[in-house]
Amino acid sequence: MGGNEAIGFSTFDPLYHDETAKLISEALETKDAIGRILRIHLAVEMRLQQLVKKVSGQDATRLQFSTLILAVRCMSVDPKICDLAKRLNELRNKFAHTPDATLESTKTVAEDIVRRNSDLLPNFDAVEVNLGNSKPRAFAKLELYDQVVVVAAILASHFHGMAQRGNFVAPNVSIPRNTRNTR
């Protein structure tokens, strides 16, 4: 991706045609940074569930996020992508389960997510991003948590694309019952 390319999330890929796409759109437009992280994490989780269901033929909505990541790792998904998703989950868990979590106290994890994205997409900092109704800005000039939301939206799109195109290696494994979430 070069410096004069732009991503407009209102029309991003085939992403905006279902309930998960609505969550992504809301995450991109919500002013509250913590609310954005929680929404975008849920969108990534839903895309992972769709991918795992596509491969296994089984409902994956009750699987824990960590189990979903293990499942996609078995599909030969780049370990760096899986690690990026795990860090997003860590950030989400800090906000969801730590009463005194703040943007400042989670900054290190957020910065690591952005750094890992830079490792995967080295020229992404120059790509212009249009979040909602704002003017396009270079990714590198977005606020840290806006960058995290954009990275997570790309993750969601990646998993969605894999499920739609069927470009994964279907593992010959079953998911043990004790890894199911009892939500």
> In this predicted model, what pLDDT tens digit does every residue of 64-114 receive, in sequence order?
999 999 999 988 888 999 999 999 999 999 999 999 999 999 999 999 999
Instruction: Tell me which residue range forms the domain holding 131.
Output: 6-175
Q: Residue 125: pLDDT above 70?
A: yes
For residue 73, the one-letter residue type is: R
Does 183 fall in a domain? no
Half-sphere exposure of 49 (CA within 13 A, CB side): 16
Structure tokens at 24: 């992504």
Does 180 fall in a domain? no
Does 117 fall in a domain? yes
Does 181 fall in a domain? no
Does 182 fall in a domain? no
CB atoms within 10 A of CB 106: 23
Residue 25 near residue 142, CB atoms below 8 Å:
no
Q: What is the pLDDT of residues 20-71, one digit of tens each?
A: 777 777 777 778 889 889 989 999 999 999 999 988 889 999 999 999 999 9
CA dihedral 6, 28, 91, 126 (to 10 degrees): 20
Domain count, the chain: 1
